[in-house]
Amino acid sequence: DTEVTQTPKHLVMGMTNKKSLKCEQHMGHRAMYWYKQKAKKPPELMFVYSYEKLSINESVPSRFSPECPNSSLLNLHLHALQPEDSALYLCASSLRGRVDNEQFFGPGTRLTVL
């Protein structure tokens, strides 16, 4: 299995909702990432889990909270989002320890906040 899967593919939510995005990989990778991508822009790194240690992009608001239940799963919990949070959310993984840190990307979740 050489892919990263993400569910759901599309999500529409109101500003008062709580929802979660899920990411899974079975490649034995020990680092997993969440990115946010707005239209016509490159992906922006939000969080990194590497060997169970979390690194946070300081600019990410607290209404986004990651969770890593095990080394194969990465969730992104969403609460009280704003319309400007609408974007494509990408998950990626890498075999930590690879010299080049190649990242493998999932297909993304298209999030719309109403």
Partner 1 sequence: AQSVTQLGSHVSVSEGALVLLRCNYSSSVPPYLFWYVQYPNQGLQLLLKYTSAATLVKGINGFEAEFKKSETSFHLTKPSAHMSDAAEYFCAVSEGRNRDDKIIFGKGTRLHILP
**Residue ranges in contact with partner 1 by CB under 8 A:** 4, 6, 31, 33, 40-43, 45, 48, 50, 55, 88, 90, 92, 94, 96-108, 110
Q: Least CB distance from residue 80 to partner 1, whole Å? A: 26
Taking the least distance from each CB to partner 1, the nearer of 79 and 105 is 105
Instruction: Find how far residue 52's CA is from the centre of its chain.
Output: 15
Nearer to partner 1, 82 or 101 (CB): 101
Q: CA 48, CA 57: separation in Å to the nearest integer?
A: 9
Q: Which is nearer to partner 1, 10 or 16 (CB)?
A: 10
Given the structure tokens 């969770």, which residue do they identify? 67
CB of 40 to partner 1, least distance (A): 8
Please state, in angstroms and rounded to a whole number, the distance separating the CA atoms of residues 111 and 8: 9
CA-closest candidate to residue 106, choices 50, 54, 38, 32? 32
